[in-house]
Amino acid sequence: MVKILQLFTNESQLVKALQQGDAKAQRHLYDKYSARFLAVCVRYVGDSMEAEDVMIEGFMKIFERIGQYRGEGSFEGWMRRLMTNEALMYLRSRRQIEVELDAPEAQKAANVEWADAALDASELLTIVAKLPTGYRTVFNLYAIEGYSHAEIAEQLGITESTSKSQLHRARGLLQEMLQSLETGSRNVGNY
């Protein structure tokens, strides 16, 4: 297979070509970021097939809205925000974002001092994926994406205190799941 020379030597050239609707630039962007953005979508949606559909819709939004990018801040950050919003819209459209206010399994406080240093990132992400959708969504937005509780509340149509509560409960449930792994087998799929 003959490798095509990279046409876009810097980000500003790529953005300019995208703003002109260049199909090669779109393909280049997709090839460069699809794996990264698929991982983002899977973290929210859970199912890899559905996440792929969400990611493609997210890329379509990026291509449609590229004219709104003004070169201020990180281009990847701008795209990630659109991709995250697309995943949240998908969850909302399927009414999968539920606020678990009465979930008894995570009522106790999380012990944030306890941690399993031997757990790798892929194992942790597998455990996070097993959280109820509401917990997982708030955890992803806060702990992984870096949104504030005010931003999460606005995104999800909940109060800041509900966002904080969901994060607290997610941490508690994660701790229980991690402790279960520590006392049981290290096979994450068995939780």
- pLDDT, one tens digit per residue, over 140-173 is 899 888 899 999 988 888 899 999 999 999 999 9
* Total-model pTM: 0.71
Residues 127 and 67 in one domain: no
Last residue of a domain, one of 46, 68, 93: 93
Which string of DSSP letters, residue by residue, matches 124-185? HHHHHHTS-HHHHHHHIIIIIS---HHHHHHHHT--HHHHHHHHHHHHHHHHHHHHHHHHS-
Distances (CA, A) of 60 to 2, 5, 32, 66, 84: 28, 25, 15, 10, 13
| Residue 45: inside a domain | yes
DSSP annotation of 86 reads H
Residues 114 and 67 in one domain: no
Q: What are phi and psi of 29, to 5 degrees?
A: -60, -45
| Residue 73: inside a domain | yes
Domain harbouring 149, CATH code: 1.10.10.10
Question: Structural domain of residue 82, as residue ranges?
Answer: 11-93
Residue 112 has a pLDDT of: 42
Residues 35 and 82 in one domain: yes
10 Å CB burial of residue 24 (0-12, 13-18, 19+) is exposed
| Residue 66: inside a domain | yes
**Residues 6+ away with beta carbon under 8 Å from 89:** none
Last residue of a domain, one of 93, 116, 135: 93
- pLDDT, one tens digit per residue, over 47-104 is 889 999 999 999 999 999 999 998 888 999 999 999 999 999 998 888 755 554 444 4
Whats the size of the chain, residue-wise? 191
Instruction: Report how far residue 76's alpha carbon sits from residue 82's, in angstroms, rounded to the nearest whole number.
Output: 10
Residues 64 and 123 in one domain: no
Domain harbouring 36, CATH code: 1.10.1740.10
- pLDDT, one tens digit per residue, over 92-119 is 888 755 554 444 444 444 444 444 445 5
